[in-house]
Amino acid sequence: MVQVVFDKVRKAFGDTVTIPGLDLVIESGEFVSLLGPSGCGKSTTLRMLAGLEQPSGGRISIGGRDVANLPPAERDIAMVFQSYALYPHMTVAENIRYPLRKRGVPKPEQATRLAEVAALLQLEPLLDRKPRQLSGGQQQRVALGRALVRDPSVFLLDEPLSNLDAALRAHMRAELIELHRRLGKTMVYVTHDQLEAMTMSTRIAVMKDGVLQQFAPPAEIYDRPANRFVAGFIGTPSMALAEATLLRDGGGARLQIGAMMIDLPGRHAAAAPCAVTVGIRPEDIVVGQGPWQALVRLVEPTGHETIVALEAGDLALTARIPGGPRLHAGETVAFDVNRARLHLFAADDGHRLALDITDTTPPRSA
Amino acid sequence: MTNRQRPALIASLVTWPLVLLIAFPLLWMLLTSVKPQAELFTTPPDFLPNAITFEHYRRVLEETAFLQYFRNSLVVAVSTTLLVVVVAVLGAYSLVRFAYRGRELLASLVLFTYLLPSVVLISPLYLMLVKLGLANTLASLVAAYTSFALPYALWLLRSFMAGIPEDLEAAAMVDGASRMGAFVDVVLPQALPGIISTALFSFILAWNEYLYALVLVNSDEARPLTTGVMTMLISAFNIEWSLLMAASVMMSVPLIVIFAFFQKYLTSGFGAGGVKG
Amino acid sequence: MAEAALPGARLERRDALLGLALIAPTVLVLGAVIVYPLLSAIYLSLFSLYTPTLEGHWVGLANYRAVFGSGGFWSALATTAVWTVGTLTLQVLFGLAMALLLHQNILFRSLARSLVLFPYFLSTVVAVLVWRWLFNDLYGVVNHALMAAGIIDAPVSWLGTMPNAMLSIIVVGAWKFFPFVVIAILARLQTIPEALYEAARIDGAGPVSRFFDITLPQLRDVLTIVILLRTVWDFKEFDLIYLMTGGGPVNGTRTLPLIVYQQAFGLNQMGLAAAHAVAMMLVMLVFMLAYLRRAGGRVA
């Protein structure tokens, strides 16, 4: 049982507070992604977990053990670095054996473990090479091998795929998912790439400015973003966000977005009237029929679907429609929105309004 | 600027005469050292010797204290290099990777001493070494040479070590190494070219030093080559140029060896040390 | 002390202690061979001290009055300035030209580079011996060559008369130290992206304007640093001048470092020598600070 706990962990560099107070409990065997824009504190969080940086306050424990005063070597972790950090003067085999050597694993066992890992990652033909003789993808696999060889209780991965090209990245994503399934180890994965986080994680911790925004499984993050930031950050193309007003209309409620009026189920009336931010995902816009008209600004066919930028008065929307382009820039089309999948956020602090619509529908399966 | 494939003929024709002009004094030194004494004083001088003789080399080795000076220089230069490299490797690593109060100040001080004129330090160093009873010893020279070789070495190594990715040490520590273990396993091998370069520079600086040797040593037992060879010049009644040129050639042998085999370390150290900052 | 309040405090303290332990030898050695002598130089400059017996007494600022009041210091300063400006100009011009030539794809380029760089690594003692032989009044190659070329009619005393002696040390200084400029500029030239020249060519720039519009601006930073560094190093040069001319004829080539040495170990006035040294440092400080600002900005 290797639970990783961040308890009010704080990090400040001099007077600059980068992480004001992080609470996070990662369960044993989970694959958790720390996701956020650069500078959000995700890497610092990982490095504190590794022991490479010391928190300015709070407590970190791994498997119930407070690791505050444990150097990285004694935390029973393995880490894959964004730069891979392969030791340039050692061969691939020496690189992979290094963690075993440092822990005094007997020579014959070193050889067995090396052989296992090399087979797993198809590194056999590369074992005698130096890192600089390897391609980016091969270096990445060696870095992974060095982490895997030791069977640690927690794996830390710091943007391990960001230096690979697109095709290789997709391939390695699949391998990592498979690896996690097979090993069942706790993995903490830092990334700024939401596709990686969405496809691989059991849960995603979305961070911004050192503050945890939401910690939930990918589907929930997508279907029920906890606040305006998460809503805008997750999803490509991103969710359209617009200022709107929630009004009372007899027994029911209406949402006014510019000139548009949308009727909502009656229970929303309780909060009305109030200012809100409404979020509409591209796939929740129906183009070609509906009560409103919009100007087509831009049509981007991607093959299996088409992204259409629409303009309805002051409101800018992005729609995702299946198939090839049937529309042309400059024409006017009718459109509708899927009322059941609108997202409402408080206008002031941006938190998700509990009474909003999707609460009544079960989360879509991802 | 030029077509990389084809040798630039015109540039070669301009450059090579200049290169030969620059190299001429050294060539002349070599030629003079193997000419019979009589050939030195022909007018106009013959470029190539009519007869080659190694008589002057024999005389320098057998009739002067040259070998003693050579041994002294070697001992002093090697000791200085060892001392300076060990101290500077640790110091530079500390300056690059650790945070503590006064670190910036220390780095600036190192850079400052790198510019300090020897003549400012010479009198107090002389007084200090006399007081310690080290005057006229090889140890006094090692101490004095450290005063310019150490700042140089620190500056050079600091720049080399700053270029080693910190992730490598982080990886080593995660993999089970202690901080010093990571230093030994990862930083030292990575800094090796820089260490070699620093060692060569320290050696050359110490080998070539003149002023401290002039002031601190006045006995043949501890005299290094630089002042020793000049003593040969001064003590002789009439200057025997053949002997001096032969001594000069032999004195330059270690430098020629270093230059022939390790030139890339010298040029890389150059960039790291003085100019790039 | 019991468990510290901060998490990881013990780890951090251990780290900090390790950093201090590693720097300790450096601090000790630098303190012993630089900081202490430097401070005592300033202290000594307030004494009248007889070198052979090391006996002396406090004289306050009298040494400085002597330094600035006598003509010796000022004429040595002027001599130092002439030497520095002269040899530095030759070093930079010749070094720049040579670097540009050696950057071309010439025949046997690496051999040419080695030959050009070697004088810099040669011992000054050897350089001086060779050049004194070349400059020899009667049998020196320099006189023979110049006479053969018809530039002079009779042998010239290169080191025994002025301004020949100054000219000679300037030339030898340039020969010995210009490789420094070559290495620095060559290294920089190799990092100028080829695309800049290609773009300039497309924009219609000829070789001359490519040099002035691209090469020279790209070299500006390294030239500034090199000039500052060499100014300091030429200014404090002792070995070469002392061994070439001993400061003579008369005091024609007696620069500041030579005066310091002469006072301390020739005239046995160690206090006065220290005052000269400190005064010399004050003059140099301008260039040192300029260099520290350019290069030291990158310390952090």
User: C43-98: per-residue pLDDT in tens?
Assistant: 888 888 887 777 788 888 888 888 888 888 899 999 999 999 999 999 999 999 99
C38 touches chain B (CB under 8 A): yes
CA distance C169 to chain B (A): 15
CATH number at residue C132: 1.10.3720.10
Q: Give me the mean pLDDT over the C120-134 stretch.
A: 92
Q: Rounded to 5 degrees, what are φ and ψ at B221?
A: -60, -35
Q: What pLDDT band is residue C7 in, cutting at 50, 70 and 90?
A: low
**What is the per-residue pLDDT for C296?**
60
**What is the per-residue pLDDT for C190?**
85
The shortest CB-CB distance from B124 to any of C37, C126, C226 is to C37
Helix (H) or strand (E) holding B250: helix B241-270
Q: In terms of domains, do C82 and C117 share one?
A: yes
Q: Give me the mean pLDDT over the C163-181 stretch.
A: 93
B45 touches chain A (CB under 8 A): no
Q: Look at residue C280 and tell me if it is in a domain.
A: yes
Contact C61, C46 (CB under 8 A): yes
| Contact state of C11 with A68 under an 8 Å Cβ cutoff | yes
Segment among A233-237, C202-206, C260-264 with least mean pLDDT: C202-206
Q: Which residues of A touch C12 (CB under 8 A)?
A: 54
**What is the per-residue pLDDT for C3?**
40
**What is the per-residue pLDDT for A362?**
42
Q: What pLDDT band is residue B2 in, cutting at 50, 70 and 90?
A: very low
- For chain A, first and last CA: distance in Å? 28
In terms of CA atoms, which chain A residue is nearest residue B189?
Answer: A89
Percent of chain B whose predicted confidence (pLDDT) is above 70 = 93
CA distance B110 to chain A (A): 26
Segment among A46-55, B260-269, C133-142 with least mean pLDDT: B260-269
Q: Look at residue C279 and tell me if it is in a domain.
A: yes
B190 touches chain A (CB under 8 A): yes
A103 touches chain B (CB under 8 A): yes
Q: Which chains touch B (3 or more CB pairs under 8 A)?
A: A, C
Taking 60 as the threshold, does the pLDDT of residue B79 lie above it? yes
What is the residue extent of each domain of chain A?
4-227, 232-360
Superfamily of domain covering B63-275: MetI-like (1.10.3720.10)
Percent of chain C whose predicted confidence (pLDDT) is above 70 = 96
Give chain A's radius of gyration (CA, Å).
24
Summarize pLDDT for B163-178 with one digit per residue, the tens: 899 999 999 999 999 9
**What is the per-residue pLDDT for A267?**
63
Q: Provide the number of CB pairs (under 8 Å) joining chain B to chain C.
A: 308
Q: In terms of domains, do C19 and C153 share one?
A: no
**What is the per-residue pLDDT for C297?**
55
Q: What pLDDT band is residue B109 in, cutting at 50, 70 and 90?
A: confident
Q: Give me the mean pLDDT over the B91-120 stretch.
A: 87
Taking 60 as the threshold, does the pLDDT of residue C4 lie above it? no
Q: Give me the mean pLDDT over the B195-220 stretch.
A: 92
Q: Which chains touch C (3 or more CB pairs under 8 A)?
A: A, B
DSSP H helices in A149-227: 166-183, 194-200, 218-223
Segment among A23-37, B1-15, C261-275 with least mean pLDDT: B1-15
Taking only residues 247 to 286 of chain C, the set having a beta carbon closer than 8 angstroms to any beta carbon of chain A reads none
**What is the per-residue pLDDT for B276?**
43
Taking 90 as the threshold, does the pLDDT of residue B238 lie above it? no
The shortest CB-CB distance from B176 to any of A52, A89, A102 is to A102
Give pLDDT < 70 ranges for chain A. 1, 265-272, 354-366
Q: In terms of domains, do C147 and C42 share one?
A: no
Q: Look at residue C152 and tell me if it is in a domain.
A: yes
**What is the per-residue pLDDT for B236?**
61
**What is the per-residue pLDDT for C172?**
95
Task: Tell me the C-alpha distance between A77 and B174, whole Å.
Answer: 7
Q: Give me the mean pLDDT over the C23-34 stretch.
A: 92
Domain count, chain C: 2
Contact A197, A191 (CB under 8 A): yes
What is the residue extent of each domain of chain B?
9-53, 63-275
Q: Give me the mean pLDDT over the B30-50 stretch.
A: 81
Taking 50 as the threshold, does the pLDDT of residue C1 lie above it? no
Fold (topology level) of A232-360 = OB fold (Dihydrolipoamide Acetyltransferase, E2P) (2.40.50)
Residue predicted with more confidence, B273 or C149:
C149
Q: Which residues of A touch C11 (CB under 8 A)?
A: 51, 54, 68-71
Q: What pLDDT band is residue B27 in, cutting at 50, 70 and 90?
A: very high
- Domain residues for the domain of C278 are 70-296
> Token pair for residue B216?
């601190």
A79 touches chain B (CB under 8 A): yes
> Token pair for residue B44?
């106009």
**Count of CA atoms in the C-beta half-sphere (13 A) of C188:** 24
| Contact state of A55 with C7 under an 8 Å Cβ cutoff | yes
Superfamily of domain covering A4-227: P-loop containing nucleotide triphosphate hydrolases (3.40.50.300)
Q: In terms of domains, do C30 and C92 share one?
A: no
**In the predicted model, what is the mean pLDDT of chain B?**
87
Q: Look at residue C63 and tell me if it is in a domain.
A: no
Q: What pLDDT band is residue B22 in, cutting at 50, 70 and 90?
A: very high
Percent of chain C whose predicted confidence (pLDDT) is above 90 = 38
- Pairing verdict, β A285-301 and A305-312: antiparallel
Task: Tell me the C-alpha distance between A264 and A325, whole Å.
Answer: 32
Q: In terms of domains, do C239 and C109 share one?
A: yes
Residue predicted with more confidence, C195 or C87:
C87
The shortest CB-CB distance from A79 to any of B168, B174, B190 is to B174
List all residues 6 or more positions away from C278 whose beta carbon is below 8 Å from its beta carbon: B120, C41, C42, C45
Q: In terms of domains, do C29 and C171 share one?
A: no
Q: In terms of domains, do C98 and C27 share one?
A: no
Q: Which chains touch A (3 or more CB pairs under 8 A)?
A: B, C
Q: In terms of domains, do C52 and C74 share one?
A: no
Q: What is the 3-state secondary structure (H, E, C) of chain C?
A: CCCCCCCCHHHHHHHHHHHHHHHHHHHHHHHHHHHHHHHHHHHHCCEEEECCCCEEEECCCHHHHHHHHCHHHHHHHHHHHHHHHHHHHHHHHHHHHHHHHHHCCCCCHHHHHHHHHHHHHCCHHHHHHHHHHHCCCCCCHHHHHHHHCCCCCCCCCCCCCCCHHHHHHHHHHHHHHHHHHHHHHHHHHCCCCHHHHHHHHHCCCCHHHHHHHHHHHHHHHHHHHHHHHHHHHHHCCCHHHHHHCCCCCCCCCCCHHHHHHHHHHHCCEHHHHHHHHHHHHHHHHHHHHHHHHHHHCCCC
Contact A223, A214 (CB under 8 A): no
| Contact state of A81 with B178 under an 8 Å Cβ cutoff | no
A24 touches chain C (CB under 8 A): no
The shortest CB-CB distance from A87 to any of B168, B176, B178 is to B168
Taking 70 as the threshold, does the pLDDT of residue B150 lie above it? yes
The shortest CB-CB distance from B170 to any of A52, A88, A146 is to A52
B166 touches chain A (CB under 8 A): no
Taking only residues 1 to 40 of chain C, the set having a beta carbon closer than 8 angstroms to any beta carbon of chain A reads 6-12
Q: In terms of domains, do C207 and C94 share one?
A: yes
Q: In terms of domains, do C133 and C49 share one?
A: no
| Contact state of C184 with B128 under an 8 Å Cβ cutoff | no
Q: In terms of domains, do C213 and C282 share one?
A: yes
Q: What pLDDT band is residue C2 in, cutting at 50, 70 and 90?
A: very low
